[in-house]
Amino acid sequence: MPDLQEPIIAIFGARAVAAAIMTLLMLALHRNFRKDYLLHWAWAWLSLALYAASTAVAIGLEIQYHLAVSHPARMATALISGVAGNLQMVWLFFGCYELIRRRPIKIRASRFALTGASILGVVTALGGQLRVARPEDLIDLTSSGPRTILYAMVFIAGSIYLLQIRGHKERLGFLLLSLAFALWGAQQIHYLVATALHLLPDVAVPYATLLGFLDLILQSVMIVAMMACLLQDQSEASELATVEIEHLAYHDALTGLPNRPLFIDRLIVALAQANRANQTLAVFFLDLDRFKDINDSLGHNIGDQLLRAVAERVRRSVREGDTIARFGGDEFTLLIPRVERIEDAATIAQKIIEMLKIPFIIGENELFVTTSIGISLFPNDGADPETLVRNADTAMYRAKEHGRDNYQLYAPAMNARALERLALENLLRKALNQNELILHYQPLIDLKSRTVAGVEALVRWNHPDMGLLYPAHFITVAELSGLIVPIGNWVLRTACKQVRHWQRKFGYEISVSVNLSARQFQQPDLLAQVAQVLEETGLPPHSLELEITESSAMQNSENTIYTLREFKALGVRIAMDDFGTGYSSLNYLKRFPIDTLKLDKSFVNDITTDPSDAAIATAIISLAHSLNLDVVAEGVETEAQLAILTREKCDRIQGYYFSKPRSIQELEAYVAEHGAIIVR
Ligand code: C2E
Ligand code: MG
Ligand code: MG
């Protein structure tokens, strides 16, 4: 028989040599292409080489030297072929996984699989050795029982998997590899069946030789398949690289946002659409204020992280269809393809400004950032990308000039008043934060005792350029924009604090009147706010008089009554301001639980000249008194007016006749000069 066994040895030898060559080839390719799957495949081929070589040696030892199964040399070859055969399979699949998934296999998973395969190899090799009693069963060394089944299953499953994954069907490499796996699996099944039927011992060696050849052919198919895979992978990788390069060309590397060229591209498209649909489009130019300081003091690394965080925040505060781009440095642009009203653009700008005001936590630093935004609009401010961007940029500079931390519209895009209003709102917002608002206090004189019974707090804006501005200039804007709420809160707190201070200083309970706007009056937490201010300042509730107007009381009269009752319960007094203008229905006086009626100055103005006005005033005062209300006359400027009001037993007088609204010092001087008793 030895002469017949020799071809088998030769074939295993040839397979070993082919596999070894393949190992070297894979290593060389790996050096070139730096793909990890090539390394895995190199180990797979090396294992196969070891497996084939050790099998050849095993057969040689058996046939030539008639060594017993238990001989250490035979044990060693069996172990090597057992372990190497398994490892070959594992590495083969590692390679495929990495090729398909484009990511490395996890270290733990790979260790686990390799150890498992090795242990399995040792166990089956030892088991096989024990079972192999007859030399005819030699072939069992490689294909005995369970392991053969496992091999077959794994390869066939691998083949099906390769066929199924993401459209790899059309790709020759995967197709070939799948075919090679399928054949390999079929070959294993064939071994199994042949062994089970004892086919192999009978037909003996020529058949085995044939099988050996078949293995060699499959091995070659696999080599070709792997080469095809590599080529495909390379071309795909270069495609991906092209996409990536394109991305890099159109995106900012630091933030991942579109860059200038892409922004202009999108603006061109959006302009065409806006033009067709007759829509307004907005371009924002954002520039962080004093970013350079942060960069210089904390370093570029922190600066970069801040820019990334800023980009993220802006991205989150705009809608999906909007394009936010980084123009370079700390400059960003924003394209809003459709704005219904110009105010919408302003709202978005304000939202971004507010969003960026929330401190950034970068590393251990808490960074405070403000932003200046310029806005240009299509079609008003330009029809082409360059003009729009340039104009937005110009507007941004205007925002910087206006003291940063605000937005500016490029040009009169709406009528001049609306624009002015927006500008004013912008400035007013800052005024509140920068303590440009101050309060003046106008004395309310008690007619009976002729003392300063209280003061009305009246807000003023100490504008750095325009000087002292009166409420007529800004209260409407504050109400329309909602700014009246924070402003009103500030007024309330400041006035209560000041008057509490005076109560201590003057030694008697001077009261304070604070105006509430309709908007404030609708705030659900107004009562809580007032209660908190009283508690914080220590002002007795009955020393506070809140002034509401008829119009604000009427906006939701049921609610108003409820709110007023709650204030009553708190002990705070309520005055109806400007009575005699507007709706002026005596009906309200009964329905609303108020304490004081303030006759409007226009009304008071006429009582000396218009007899019917005087009659009405007299009637109102007596009606108010019958309803148990205090009456305050506003705008009393003359002795004659005072005389009538005194005669009609008006309770308190407010007006230039006694005093204009005064600053803190002026009011203190007034009280000091006249004492508590006013002797005019
Ligand atoms: P008001 O509540 O009726 O305040 C009285 C206004 O009449 C004050 O004008 C005061 O300076 C003015 N005045 C007082 N005596 C005389 C007088 O003898 N002759 C004339 N011609 N005017 C007199 P001011 O300070 O310009 O305030 C105007 C309005 O602005 C206030 O009317 C009030 O409705 C509103 N306002 C003022 N401060 C605040 C505030 O803090 N919050 C709210 N929501 N509104 C305020
Ligand atoms: Mg008032
Ligand atoms: Mg008034």
3-class SS of residue 68: coil
Q: How confident is the model at residue 666 (pLDDT cuts 50, 70, 90)?
A: very high
Q: Which of ligand 1's atoms lies nearest the C-alpha of 520?
A: 44
pLDDT at 143 over 70: no
> Among all chains, which residue has been given the structure tokens 């803190």?
664
Nearest CA to ligand 1 atom 24: 471
Nearest CA to ligand 1 atom 44: 517
Ligand 2 center to residue 467 CA distance, Å?
Answer: 23
Could you tell me the two tokens for 498? 């000041």
pLDDT at 36 over 90: no
Instruction: Confirm or reject: Cβ of 445 under 6 Å from ligand 1.
Output: no
Instruction: Confirm or reject: Cβ of 551 under 6 Å from ligand 1.
Output: no
pLDDT at 606 over 50: yes
pLDDT tens profile 463-482: 988 899 999 989 988 987 88
Residues 6+ apart with CB under 8 A from 372: 286, 287, 289, 396, 399, 400, 404, 405, 406, 407, 408
Residues 6+ apart with CB under 8 A from 631: 596, 597, 598, 599, 620, 621, 624, 625, 650, 651, 652
Instruction: Confirm or reject: Cβ of 443 under 6 Å from ligand 1.
Output: no
Helix (H) or strand (E) holding 559: helix 557-570
Nearest CA to ligand 1 atom 20: 635
3-class SS of residue 167: coil
Ligand 1 center to residue 458 CA distance, Å?
Answer: 6
CA-based nearest residue to 679, from 441, 511, 445, 443: 445
pLDDT at 420 over 80: no
pLDDT at 202 over 50: no
pLDDT, mean of residues 58-74 = 82
Q: How confident is the model at residue 295 (pLDDT cuts 50, 70, 90)?
A: confident
Could you tell me the two tokens for 317? 């505060």
pLDDT, mean of residues 475-499 = 92
Q: Cα 588 to the chain's mean position, in Å?
A: 50
- pLDDT value at residue 410: 87
CA of 599, nearest ligand number: 3
Residues 6+ apart with CB under 8 A from 134: 201
Q: How many residues does the chain have?
A: 680
- pLDDT value at residue 672: 85
* 84 vs 66, residue with greater confidence: 84
- pLDDT value at residue 494: 97
Distance of alpha carbon 218 from alpha carbon 274, whole angstroms? 64
CA-based nearest residue to 487, from 552, 479, 465, 424: 479
Spell out which residues have Cβ within 5 A of ligand 3, the ion.
577-578, 634
Instruction: Confirm or reject: Cβ of 483 under 6 Å from ligand 1.
Output: no
Q: Cα 266 to the chain's mean position, in Å?
A: 23
CB burial of 313-322 (b: ≥16 within 10 Å; e: otherwise) equals: ebbebbeeeb
pLDDT tens profile 235-283: 887 888 888 777 888 899 899 999 999 999 999 999 999 999 999 999 9
Backbone φ and ψ of 593, nearest 5°: -75, 80
* 289 vs 349, residue with greater confidence: 349
CA dihedral of residues 40, 46, 48, 51 (deg, nearest 10):
-140
Ligand 1 binding pocket mutation candidate from 470, 487, 579, 634 (most atoms within 8 A of CB): 634
Instruction: Confirm or reject: Cβ of 498 under 6 Å from ligand 1.
Output: no
Ligand 2 center to residue 513 CA distance, Å?
Answer: 7
Could you tell me the two tokens for 565? 């009752």
Q: Cα 640 to the chain's mean position, in Å?
A: 66
Distance of alpha carbon 211 from alpha carbon 217, whole angstroms? 10
Ligand 3 center to residue 632 CA distance, Å?
Answer: 10
Instruction: Confirm or reject: Cβ of 515 under 6 Å from ligand 1.
Output: yes
Out of 55-64, 77-86, 249-258, which region has the weakest mean confidence (pLDDT)?
Answer: 55-64
pLDDT at 678 over 50: no
Residues 6+ apart with CB under 8 A from 393: 285, 374
- pLDDT value at residue 583: 55
* Torsional sign, CA 68, 73, 79, 84: negative
Could you tell me the two tokens for 414? 């709406």
Q: How confident is the model at residue 680 (pLDDT cuts 50, 70, 90)?
A: very low
CA of 437, nearest ligand number: 1
Helix (H) or strand (E) holding 324: strand 323-328
CA of 546, nearest ligand number: 2
Q: How confident is the model at residue 523 (pLDDT cuts 50, 70, 90)?
A: confident
CA-based nearest residue to 624, from 606, 646, 651, 605: 651
- pLDDT value at residue 561: 87
Q: What percent of the chain is predicted at pLDDT more than 90? A: 44
Distance of alpha carbon 161 from alpha carbon 159, whole angstroms? 5
- pLDDT value at residue 635: 95
pLDDT at 652 over 80: yes
* Torsional sign, CA 207, 208, 209, 215: positive
Instruction: Confirm or reject: Cβ of 459 under 6 Å from ligand 1.
Output: yes
Distance of alpha carbon 102 from alpha carbon 168, whole angstroms? 14
Q: What percent of the chain is predicted at pLDDT more than 70? A: 90
Ligand 3 center to residue 553 CA distance, Å?
Answer: 14
**Average predicted confidence (pLDDT) for the chain:** 86
Ligand 3 center to residue 634 CA distance, Å?
Answer: 6
Instruction: Confirm or reject: Cβ of 517 under 6 Å from ligand 1.
Output: yes
Nearest CA to ligand 1 atom 23: 635
> Strands 323-328, 331-339: parallel, antiparallel or unpaired by DSSP?
antiparallel
Could you tell me the two tokens for 610? 């218009």
Distance of alpha carbon 502 from alpha carbon 518, whole angstroms? 29
- Cα separations (Å) of 3 from 7, 8, 59, 661? 8, 10, 12, 126
pLDDT, mean of residues 567-591 = 81
Contact 160, 186 (CB under 8 A): no
pLDDT, mean of residues 339-361 = 91
Q: How confident is the model at residue 78 (pLDDT cuts 50, 70, 90)?
A: confident
> Strands 596-599, 573-579: parallel, antiparallel or unpaired by DSSP?
parallel
